[in-house]
Structure 1
Amino acid sequence: MSVNDLASALENADLIFDRRTLEREIARMAVTIRNDYAGSRPVYLTIMHGGMPFASQLAMELGERGLDLEFDYLHATRYRGATTGADLVWKHRPATQLRGRRVLLADDILDEGHTLNGIREWCREQGAAEVRIAALAVKAHGRCVEGLHADYVGVEVPDRYVFGYGMDFHEQGRNLPAIYALK
């Protein structure tokens, strides 16, 4: 088997949060978000690819609670290799005008936050009145970009390689209905 084989990874991983727990935490988040956005229609930006499973579930929970959203998405990445630097590389920018709007970013995980911080700053540069972050998972460590935090958090995961529910293991396993951590 390959070192990057998903089946091998699952054999060498701990189940951190099952689907039922994640769905319960997403529903809990939705109540707070709905209350915070009452009377407004935020721009709901899904961060691709990892944010898609979480953002979809959260959007349905918000709709069930009566909060309408204006949907759009973005796809940005940051390469950390010495030859490419640490610049944000955009694969798709939202088409929705952000000027004067309340923006809610939905992503799978807040780890160190370099990419998410770059996205937040770009939204502010576009004139967003407010930018908040909803993250399914936040990694438990002290290495996050200074001043960056998730406004809405589903679960806290250990400082290990985590995958599932949007997070990948070498571009695999994003659609696993649970969160796992390598041992």
Structure 2
Amino acid sequence: MKLSPETYTAVADRAECLITQDAMEQAIDRMAEAISERLAGTDPLVLCVMSGGVIATGLLLPRLNFQLRLGHVHVGRYRGATSGGELVWHYRPTEAIRGEQVLIVDDILDEGVTLEAIVRACRDDGAAGIHVAVLVEKRRPHVCEADFVGVQVPDRYLFGYGLDYKNYFRNVPGVFAVAVEDC
């Protein structure tokens, strides 16, 4: 469902900036350094988690100065809603994963349900090693963990840097918490 321009503006005006663009760029630099230390020389297959991971992957890849390949995985739970539902696989690169070092890149570690399913699928498909990088991690219990985390934030509904609110705001430079009345 499309947001009206008035609703879009109202949601943006009520949102609280938690992480600025400068702080996010510094976090991505730190992530790239940590990933490079661990994965340089392993020729990893980087899997962008669609659609939220597009921005994280796009900003991270130019900072990784070593041999790697890019692929993607597409599984979703939200489909424009503000709460997760059943997992739906749109694309699973089963054959490409066998025997590979895999770096999964996503926008957020929230509950971890989607990431845990992707990690399990990579393991089932024969990955030699699996690493997870997320731009944002909520301070809350997760069913899986990330190896590389950009920033940690409170457990609130967020948008920006790939995170969306009802399929909008992924392109916003910064991480913002949605106002309670918009959740």
Give the structure-2-normalised TM-score: 0.87
Shift of 1:20: 1.2
Match for residue 161 of structure 1 among 157, 162, 172: 157
Alpha-carbon distance in 2 for matches of 1:178, 1:68: 29
Provide the residue aligned with 1:124 in structure 2: 123
The SS at the match of 1:141 is coil
Alpha-carbon distance in 2 for matches of 1:69, 1:5: 41
Deviates more, 1:113-122 or 1:70-79: 70-79
1:140 aligns with 2:139: yes
Alpha-carbon distance in 1 for matches of 2:31, 2:123: 24
Shift in alpha-carbon separation, 1:141–1:15, aligned structure 2, 3 A: same
The SS at the match of 2:119 is helix
Letter in 2 for 1:154: G
Match for residue 169 of structure 2 among 164, 168, 173: 173
Provide the residue aligned with 1:18 in structure 2: 20
1:28 aligns with 2:57: no
- Does the 8 Å contact 1:110/1:139 carry over to 2? yes
- Indicate the RMSD between aligned Cα atoms, in angstroms: 2.2
Alpha-carbon distance in 2 for matches of 1:6, 1:42: 39
Provide the residue aligned with 1:56 in structure 2: 58
Which structure 2 residue ranges, 5 or more long, are not aligned?
A: none
Which structure 1 residue ranges, 5 or more long, are not aligned?
A: none
Give deviations 1:74-112, integer Å, cap 9, x for gaps. 1101369xxxx9653111222762111110000000000
Provide the residue aligned with 1:45 in structure 2: 47
Alpha-carbon distance in 1 for matches of 2:150, 2:162: 13
Shift in alpha-carbon separation, 1:125–1:36, aligned structure 2, 3 A: same
Alpha-carbon distance in 2 for matches of 1:61, 1:137: 18
Identity %: 41
Q: Which has the higher helix share?
A: 2
Provide the residue aligned with 2:98 in structure 1: 99
Give the structure-1-normalised TM-score: 0.87
